[in-house]
Structure 1
Amino acid sequence: MTVGVSRVSLVFVGLSVWLVLFALGVYALVAHAPRPTPHLPPTPVVRGGLYAQDGTPLALSLEEGRYYPLGKSASQLLGFGERGSGRGLEGLERDLNGALSQGRSFTLTIDPWIQAMAEQALWQGLAQSRGAFATALVLDREARLLAVANGPAFDPLAPRKDPARDLSWRNHAFLVALEPGSTMKALTAAMLLEEGAATLDTRVEAPMARRLEGWTIQDVVPHPPRLTLAEVLKYSSNVGISLLAEALPKEVFYSYMERLHFTDPTPLPGVRTTPPVVKPPEAWSRVAYANHTFGQGFLITPLHLAAAFASLTDGLYRTPRLFASQEVRPERVFSPATVQAVRQALREGLAPRAHLPGYPLAGKTGTAQVVVGGRYSREVFTAWFAGFVPGDRPLYTVVVAVHHPKGEVHGSQVAAPIFREIAARLLAYRGLPPYAEGR
């Protein structure tokens, strides 16, 4: 019996050892076997943001979707995207869609305080004028766009209306080409001075109307029959500037238009703008050239005008800048003496409604007839003002355009007061007290 029990015990022990070894082998196989990779959904790329120069967020992606922290402010510049997908449809959301969709963010040159100041003045002036739309731009001395204001105001998060009827979504500053009207006279005067074809004291016989090639060029503001170039700017004489400009070959005039980028379809790299409409000089008749000298017969955006007008601060044209990382290469167009003389004339001839007591502002009005149905309308105008804050040593260039104002229609009546309000806020923002010119 004892021998039988011992054999059973040995068999049991052996079997136990075999089971343990087998279990260890199975464990080793399982532990070192390749594990299948779980099929997890890919991490979505968060759409990049847009930020103001001081870091203020302008456009962000949240769980609920795209969010614009400043609401209506700068909304036409920023644009908007497709509900759900986030794909950019308008504004910078569209222009930068590829980079934004890959998670890249951008810092703009926009100053949110100056943007708000410009918008409040513009929206108030637009309401008073009952205009169709309006825009205002503020550039600093380095051509950085500190404000791109548009009206009527647009809420990017509100239900969208028919875009063909409600144009509040549109960045008029970049996307609408208009005739600049008499604001062009300041640039024509600079060309005359630069070429030695006139001085501010050069006189011209300037009747209230002039017949040329079967067309009549007329003045609006009553003035003496003989004017200096400075007075031509003060009274905004179409007759006077067109006669003085005859001292310049039209090819020279056009070359200045090119250097001021009036023929440039992309004045702001990377951002969609409406191309100018400017015919080459060989296509100009005498009357067409005369019209060009006072801002008729060609189309540019308010952005084009603002960048060109900014060259009257120091004579250098700078590509307008909207991105903090954007490089600028100044191009000499006018001498310092030329631009100083032009700004002096613009200070002395400043429209009364642009005056701000204690500050020597400078600027030029414009009232451009709008072509409707192939003919210049007697009812539809664009009221302009382009100027400098302050006028003696400019810190800012400001351009205002109000399209189709009702009642009062002239730039001196409609756009000049908006310029004055923007100027007052800019000067307060900089903490500049009233001072005597030349201080």
Structure 2
Amino acid sequence: MRRTRGVNTRARLLAVVAVLGLGATVLIARAVDMQLLNDDFYQQQGDARFLREIEIPTSRGMITDRNGEPLAVSTPVESIWCSPLELLQHTDRLPQLAEAVDIDLDTLTQRLSERADKEFMFLRRHMNPDDADAILELGIPGVFSQREFRRYYPLGEVVAHVLGKTNIDDHGQEGLELAFEDWLSGTPGAKRVIRDRRGRIVENVDLIRAPEPGQALALSIDRRIQYLAYRELKTALTENQAASGSIVVLDVSNGEILAMVNQPSYNPNLREPGDAGSHRNRALTDVFEPGSVMKSFTIAAAIEAGKFTPDTPVPTAPGYISIAGYPIRDFKNYGTLTVSGVLSKSSNVGATKIASTLSNEHQYDMYRRFGLGQASGSGFPGESAGVLPGPNTWGPTEKATISYGYGLNTTLLQLARAYAAIGNGGRLIEPTFVKDANNPSEQIIDPELAQQMLTMLEGVTAPGGTATRANVLGYRVGGKTGTSRKAAGGGYADKKYTAVFVGLVPASQPKFVTAVVIHEPNSFDAAGALVYGGGAVAAPVFHRVMDGALRLMDVQPDNVQQWYAAAPAPTDPTAEQVPDSDPMPEAIGVPTAAASAPGATP
């Protein structure tokens, strides 16, 4: 019996040792396999805890004016973010964090609670890097920072409507920032890094994709002319107590937009939404009845048809006419005018009689050829095409009123483009915001006709014309005024007007075309009469902007004799010097309330 127990004991001991040895061998083999031969699992688990793939932010492309001056740049900033999952484990640090990021403690606690199972939440974005570092130095668990870029506009509201703006993620939302989003935005990069438990990068492991910065965009805008136009338009709105206004300056030869300004404006550097109406690029999105600036195209159609020449007499007495019971009036009885006189005096009766000799189709075709009733092709987001009713919808009244600028709608850019075609030998060019874009053009009228129109437009700014205040010393100026009543409630509002002027300078070989519109001027002259005509309100803005732009662009004068005539005569240095007072500008009459029916104003 004792031998049996001894044998059994040894056998059992050997069995236990064998089992333990086998188990140890298996464990060792497994460890060797997992840690030396096939270590992917533990590597993946370690990577999951410390290896991260992060985005490498890239800057948005710079926007410059035609001379390389920056209009929009992206600057590096830091954004503070947190891991709610980790941060909520240290609630005692929340008051300190709330104060650091300037968030109410209750608001911060609620936001964290709503995202308690998340690993990412922004706390404050686009901070000065030094301020962000100060927050990180507090050592609050689960709080980190990341590099971003913020858009900055050095000229602020001066060029706001052209550029538009970006959102907080630096993506274009309005204007050219939106139109050229793909060109400007670039492509973020990516890299793998090792982070410690506080989220700090301790090692860059691998570059997955290099960042590609956005491409720069050179605009046709000239910063100097843009500011000049902004200043003078803002001054005009103040002087005339007007509701809004716009100005467009084009290079006649290539359609490049040198300036485009609207008032009221806004500061794109501010994140607050502000007044939605101030964000519209009114020169492109808002339409209005242009008034008498349409007479140029009506007369062009009549001359092209061979029915008139610039010297053909047109009877306008007694200063009014009735078409299908609808009264059309002039400012006064001009008697018999030449076709040129119809333009310079802005006779509605004369324009109506001229249009009556044309077919609806030819009159309409001329308007369409000048780009009316269709988008200009600028590519600007939200541009309006305007409204030009088809000729089959015209009755006698519609045919007459359209001839002098009622019954259709245009944008200011459309008018500038159309008049640029007159100054460019009859070639219509698509306007562009991009420097050296080489946009397409089309010959729409005979160059000889374009020259005749340009000569007649000079008569509008000559003595006795409606736009003497548009003249620029030393330069020949051609242009056309327009004044229309504002539509309201199915009719026309009382004492609410739109004042327009479109001009070309120098008229001998036009370099610039500038269009100005002022909505609802509300100032009064010394006699207490409302001042609202295109010649009195819009033409002076043209004069001031072009007076500066011609010199900025070093355009040679083409009316040197006028310059010499205006120069002060030499004085005897021994004679007593008596200072002269500033001369009063030439008075331009404005229609009375009795003559305020549509079309009664020049």
TM-score normalised by structure 1 residue count: 0.87
Answering whether residue 379 of structure 2 is matched by residue 256 of structure 1, we say: no
- Aligned match of 1:394: 510
- Aligned match of 2:81: none
- Aligned match of 1:403: 519
Q: Which residue of the other structure, out of 298, 301, 312, is the alignment partner of 1:191? A: 301
- Aligned match of 2:280: 170
After superposition, the Cα gap between the structure-2 partners of 1:31 and 1:40, relative to the gap in structure 1 and judged at 3 Å, is: farther
Q: Which residue of the other structure, out of 174, 177, 190, is the alignment partner of 1:93? A: 177
Q: What SS is found at the alignment partner of 2:413? A: helix
Matched residues in 2 for 1:435 and 1:263: separation?
34
After superposition, the Cα gap between the structure-2 partners of 1:395 and 1:174, relative to the gap in structure 1 and judged at 3 Å, is: same
Q: How far did residue 435 of structure 1 move?
A: 4.4
Matched residues in 1 for 2:233 and 2:393: separation?
38
- Aligned match of 2:231: 120
Q: Which residue of the other structure, out of 280, 297, 321, is the alignment partner of 2:432? A: 321
- Stretches of structure 1 that go unaligned for 5 or more consecutive residues are 1-25
In structure 1, give the amino acid aligned to 2:474: G
Return 409-418 or 242-251, whichever deviates more. 242-251
After superposition, the Cα gap between the structure-2 partners of 1:112 and 1:31, relative to the gap in structure 1 and judged at 3 Å, is: farther
8 Å CA contact 1:136–1:150 kept in 2: the answer is: yes
Pairing 1:223-242 to 2, within 5 Å after superposition: 223-242=333-352
8 Å CA contact 1:261–1:267 kept in 2: the answer is: no
Matched residues in 1 for 2:37 and 2:521: separation?
81
Matched residues in 2 for 1:189 and 1:437: separation?
30
Q: How far did residue 432 of structure 1 move?
A: 4.2
8 Å CA contact 1:266–1:272 kept in 2: the answer is: no
Q: How far did residue 99 of structure 1 move?
A: 4.3
After superposition, the Cα gap between the structure-2 partners of 1:247 and 1:31, relative to the gap in structure 1 and judged at 3 Å, is: farther
Q: What SS is found at the alignment partner of 2:279? A: coil
Matched residues in 1 for 2:436 and 2:460: separation?
38
8 Å CA contact 1:306–1:399 kept in 2: the answer is: yes
Q: What SS is found at the alignment partner of 1:296? A: coil
Q: Which residue of the other structure, out of 238, 247, 259, is the alignment partner of 1:147? A: 259
8 Å CA contact 1:123–1:153 kept in 2: the answer is: no
After superposition, the Cα gap between the structure-2 partners of 1:433 and 1:88, relative to the gap in structure 1 and judged at 3 Å, is: closer
Q: Which residue of the other structure, out of 402, 421, 445, is the alignment partner of 1:311? A: 421
In structure 2, give the amino acid aligned to 1:147: A
After superposition, give the CA deviation of every residue in 1:375-400 in whole Å (9 maximum; x if it has no partner). 11231111000011112211111101
After superposition, the Cα gap between the structure-2 partners of 1:320 and 1:160, relative to the gap in structure 1 and judged at 3 Å, is: same
Q: Which residue of the other structure, out of 62, 79, 82, is the alignment partner of 1:49? A: 62
Q: How far did residue 95 of structure 1 move?
A: 3.1
Return 144-153 or 39-48, whichever deviates more. 39-48
- Aligned match of 1:77: 162
In structure 1, give the amino acid aligned to 2:535: S
Q: How far did residue 245 of structure 1 move?
A: 1.6
- Aligned match of 2:552: 429
8 Å CA contact 2:388–2:408 kept in 1: the answer is: yes
Answering whether residue 525 of structure 2 is matched by residue 414 of structure 1, we say: no
Pairing 1:210-229 to 2, within 5 Å after superposition: 210-220=321-331, 222-229=332-339
Q: How far did residue 209 of structure 1 move?
A: 1.0
After superposition, give the CA deviation of every residue in 1:358-387 in whole Å (9 maximum; x if it has no partner). 221111100011101111123111100001
8 Å CA contact 2:250–2:257 kept in 1: the answer is: yes
Matched residues in 2 for 1:212 and 1:153: separation?
42
After superposition, give the CA deviation of every residue in 1:74-122 in whole Å (9 maximum; x if it has no partner). 111111233x223433222233345433434422111111111211221
After superposition, the Cα gap between the structure-2 partners of 1:438 and 1:251, relative to the gap in structure 1 and judged at 3 Å, is: farther
After superposition, give the CA deviation of every residue in 1:32-81 in whole Å (9 maximum; x if it has no partner). 97776742312134333322222222122222421002222211111123
- Aligned match of 2:491: 375
Matched residues in 2 for 1:403 and 1:292: separation?
20
Pairing 1:100-119 to 2, within 5 Å after superposition: 100-102=184-186, 103-119=214-230
- Stretches of structure 2 that go unaligned for 5 or more consecutive residues are 1-31, 78-125, 127-149, 187-213, 462-466, 524-530, 563-602
Q: Which residue of the other structure, out of 206, 211, 227, is the alignment partner of 2:316? A: 206
8 Å CA contact 1:187–1:309 kept in 2: the answer is: no
- Aligned match of 2:240: 129
Matched residues in 1 for 2:447 and 2:494: separation?
39
Q: How far did residue 289 of structure 1 move?
A: 1.0
Matched residues in 1 for 2:269 and 2:439: separation?
34
Matched residues in 1 for 2:368 and 2:297: separation?
13
Matched residues in 2 for 1:336 and 1:438: separation?
27
Q: What SS is found at the alignment partner of 1:94? A: helix
8 Å CA contact 1:223–1:235 kept in 2: the answer is: no
TM-score normalised by structure 2 residue count: 0.64
In structure 2, give the amino acid aligned to 1:368: S
Matched residues in 1 for 2:512 and 2:495: separation?
32
Q: What SS is found at the alignment partner of 2:57? A: coil
In structure 2, give the amino acid aligned to 1:67: Y
- Tell which structure's C-alpha radius of gyration is larger: 2
Q: How far did residue 185 of structure 1 move?
A: 1.0
Q: How far did residue 301 of structure 1 move?
A: 0.6
8 Å CA contact 1:132–1:404 kept in 2: the answer is: yes
Matched residues in 2 for 1:225 and 1:419: separation?
30
